[in-house]
């Protein structure tokens, strides 16, 4: 089994070879205690991420409240920083739940580069590439499966990483093989021409990448995150 290690981002980049998950490994990056399995793109002084129990603020449904105890990953303010796992992944099945306050905006970046949108689109009928469940900039969701603000939503994301030859030339595009929200299929076999803007590096890679959660657009909470590493076929 791997061991998590805590580093500043600078130390992580300069001195640590990122840990890559093994095939068939199932990982739960929330340890119920702290953020030692995670790091940020920017200084942690701007981070509003914390571990606790999330609920919608009864006085303001645009805000999420974090109570002590529990195992939820909570971004309590809008203009914070993105957070991502120390460990890297390639082909994966990701299951997680997300709570979206009214008017909020976040994202789930697979390999740190390819975004499934998190957005308050509750009740909206005509959906576009920026709505809840969209593969951002690539495909709008087939249907609006979002719960009302403050109610948890469950995503299931199956993803196939891009392939490269020995010269580094891409031979196969990254592909979301399936995306489900609350039991409804939103996407099947959507190919990505390249990374979504604002990812960890802005580049595609054969070496895998982390799970990144966007924290610079709005309050949001995540729980029950499970990453199943798939065999590369």
Reply yes or no on whether the pLDDT at 18 is more than 60: no
pLDDT tops 80 at residue 67? yes
Averaged over 79-86, what is the pLDDT? Answer: 93
Q: What are phi and psi of 179, to 5 degrees?
A: -130, 125
Residue of 212, 182, 41, 9 whose CA lies nearest to 114: 212
Q: Is the pLDDT of residue 5 over 80?
A: no
- Closest by CA position to 210, among listed 39, 95, 25, 86: 86
In this prediction, residue 218 has a pLDDT band, given cuts at 50, 70 and 90, of very high
Q: Kindly state the average pLDDT of the residues 216-220.
A: 92
DSSP 124-183: -SS--TTSTT-BTTTB--SS--PPPTTS-EEEEEEEE--EE-TTS-EEE-EEEEEEEETT
CA angle 42, 18, 105 (to 5 degrees): 40
Query: What mean pLDDT do residues 127-136 have?
Result: 96
pLDDT, mean over the chain: 89
Domain ranges, ordered by start, for the chain: 24-229
In tens, the pLDDT along 162-197 reads 999 999 999 999 999 999 999 999 999 999 999 999
Output the pTM of the full model.
Answer: 0.89
Q: CA-to-CA distance for 167 and 155, rounded, in angstroms?
A: 35
**Interatomic CA distance for residues 140 and 182, integer angstroms:** 16
Percent of the chain with pLDDT over 90: 79
Give the pair of three-digit tokens for residue 30: 């929330």
- Which has the higher per-residue pLDDT, 219 or 12? 219
Cβ contacts of 87 within 8 Å, gap of 6 or more: 2, 4, 18, 19, 20, 21, 27, 29, 37, 210
Q: What whole-number distance in Å separates Cα of residue 86 and Cα of residue 225?
A: 15
- Please report, rounded to a whole number, the percentage of residues in the chain having pLDDT higher than 70: 89
Residue 42 has pLDDT above 60, yes or no: yes
> pLDDT at position 3, please?
35
Residue closest to 150 by CA, chosen among 122, 116, 192, 179: 122
Quick check: 149 and 102 in contact, CB under 8 A? yes
Domain 24-229 CATH superfamily: Exo-inulinase; domain 1 (2.60.120.560)
* 99, 61 Cβ separation under 8 angstroms: no
């Amino acid at each position: 089994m791997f061991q998590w290690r805590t580093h500043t981002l600078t130390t992580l980049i300069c001195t640590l070879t990122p840990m890559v998950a093994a095939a068939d490994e199932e990982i739960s990056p929330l340890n119920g205690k702290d953020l030692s399995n995670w790091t940020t793109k920017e200084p942690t002084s701007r981070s509003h991420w914390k571990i606790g129990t999330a609920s919608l603020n009864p006085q303001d449904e645009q805000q999420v409240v974090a109570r002590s105890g529990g195992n939820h990953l909570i971004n309590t303010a809008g203009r914070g920083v993105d957070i991502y796992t120390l460990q890297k992944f390639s082909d994966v099945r990701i299951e997680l739940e997300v709570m979206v306050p009214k008017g909020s905006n976040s994202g789930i970046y697979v390999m740190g580069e390819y975004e499934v949108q998190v957005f308050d689109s509750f009740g909206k009928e005509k959906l576009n590439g920026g709505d809840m469940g969209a593969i951002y900039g690539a495909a709008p969701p087939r249907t609006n499966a979002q719960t009302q603000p403050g109610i948890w939503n469950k995503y299931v994301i199956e993803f196939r990483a891009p392939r490269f030859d020995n010269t580094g030339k891409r031979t196969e595009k990254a592909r979301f093989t399936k995306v489900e929200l609350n039991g409804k299929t939103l996407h099947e076999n959507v190919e990505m021409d390249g990374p979504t803007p604002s990812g960890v590096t802005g580049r595609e890679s054969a070496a895998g990448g982390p799970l990144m959660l966007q924290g610079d657009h709005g309050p949001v909470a995540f729980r029950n995150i499970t990453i199943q590493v798939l065999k590369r076929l």
